[in-house]
Amino acid sequence: MTEKIRHFIDLDYFSKIDFRNLLNSCHQRKNSKIRNGKAEIDDDASAQDKILAMIFEKPSTRTRFSFETAMYQLGGKSIVINSKDMQLNRGETISDTAKVLSRYVDIVMLRTNEHSSILDFSVSSSVPVINGLSDLSHPCQVVADLMTFEEILGPIESKVVTWFGPGNNMTHSWIHAASLLDFELRICAPGDYLPNSAIVEKAKNEGAKILETDDPKKAATGSNCIVTDTWFSMGDKEDSSKREVLSEFKVTNKLISLADDKVIFLHCLPAHRGEEVDSEVIDGPHSYVWDEAENRLHAQKGIIDWCLKSN
């Protein structure tokens, strides 16, 4: 029987049970070890003798450092390259690149402008491919966000998460998560900046509880988690009319005060204080953004482990 390659491209590729197992394994790996040093290799060295390649078409701080550290702590090695330094930049095809890299490394992470590049790469790759952010989605980040939520507030099932700001790659991965885990996702954005309607409809058809609204007070009321992101994703043109329309969707202490008493604030970072969030929120008592950033490391380890296991 041929083994299925475990690509980690989007959360909606998972069944509910498989996704819950993945999330639990991330929690478990984080909690099962008291680390003596950041370069200490985990007892099971589950990626020993394995190599991860990372190709970046866009900048990164967290994704790059967390994946590289994760691979190190799992006992493996990583190779990082900017796509500008590859023959890809001189016209070599994605398909040929995928076939060649599959002969060198055991797993590939891609951060691309276009989501289709990740899909194209995965079709020709004989090793697992991880989506390290595309214009469509950012699944690794949402695994870290879900870990953070559950560490602070317990199981996310039956809780309320509210997204503030324009629909983007992060929103789409949150929507995918809402069809896998039984929580309510409120998306608070102006009508012209809602997330991809096909992704929302598909999730709703799968039973996801999603509310789209342009009323910030309604969206924040009783929420357990308020999450936002930059108003201009990498590659977006900054435009002042968008900034103006979004100004009432900024996360402020006033909005936080409408939420549940124990509400947590999340942001994938990098943040723009005074734009999508006030500094008194992101640097205040409800903010868990540093735990969230740390959890990128623990999430990557769970994701790498999952990819390296064959079905």
Residues forming the site for ligand CP (CB under 6 A): 60-63, 133, 141, 268-269
Strand pairing report for 264-267 and 184-188: unpaired
Point out the catalytic residue in the list 12, 29, 141, 298.
141
Runs of H (alpha helix) within the chain? 16-31, 62-73, 94-104, 115-124, 139-153, 169-180, 197-205, 216-220, 240-246, 253-258, 279-282, 289-308
Point out the catalytic residue in the list 6, 7, 29, 111.
111
Point out the catalytic residue in the list 26, 296, 305, 307.
296
Shortest Å, Cβ 64 to ligand CP: 6
145 binds ligand NVA (CB under 6 A): no
Shortest Å, Cβ 227 to ligand NVA: 12
169 binds ligand NVA (CB under 6 A): yes
53 vs 245, which CB is nearer to ligand CP?
A: 53
Q: Quote the CA–CA distance of 23 and 86 in Å, as a whole number.
A: 34
Shortest Å, Cβ 241 to ligand CP: 26
Q: Is 26 a catalytic residue?
A: no
Kindly indicate which of the ranges 96-104, 143-151, 163-171, 218-226 contains the residues binding ligand NVA, using the contact rule CB under 6 A. 163-171
Strand pairing report for 129-131 and 107-111: parallel
The token pair at 106 is 């055991």
Q: Is 225 a catalytic residue?
A: no
Q: Pick one of 168, 179, 223, 287: the residue that binds ligand NVA (CB under 6 A).
A: 168
Angle, alpha carbons 84-87-88 (nearest 5°): 70
171 binds ligand NVA (CB under 6 A): no
Shortest Å, Cβ 268 to ligand NVA: 5
The token pair at 268 is 């994938």
Q: Quote the CA–CA distance of 110 and 116 in Å, as a whole number.
A: 11
133 vs 308, which CB is nearer to ligand CP?
A: 133
Q: In what order do the strands lie in the sheet with 107-111?
A: 77-82, 51-56, 107-111, 129-131
Which of 209, 141, 137, 208 shows the shortest CA–CA distance to 167?
A: 137
119 binds ligand NVA (CB under 6 A): no
229 binds ligand NVA (CB under 6 A): yes
Q: Is 268 a catalytic residue?
A: yes
210 binds ligand NVA (CB under 6 A): no
State which residue has the least CB distance to ligand NVA.
233
Residues in the chain: 311
Q: How far is CA 254 from CA 102, 165, 248, 262, in A?
A: 51, 16, 12, 15
Q: Quote the CA–CA distance of 167 and 229 in Å, as a whole number.
A: 9
Residue 233: which of ligand CP, ligand NVA, none does it interact with, CB under 5 to 8 A by kind?
Answer: ligand NVA
Q: Is 141 a catalytic residue?
A: yes
Residue ranges in contact with ligand NVA by CB under 6 A = 133, 138, 168-170, 229-230, 233-234, 268
* Residues identified as active-site: 111, 138, 141, 229, 268, 296
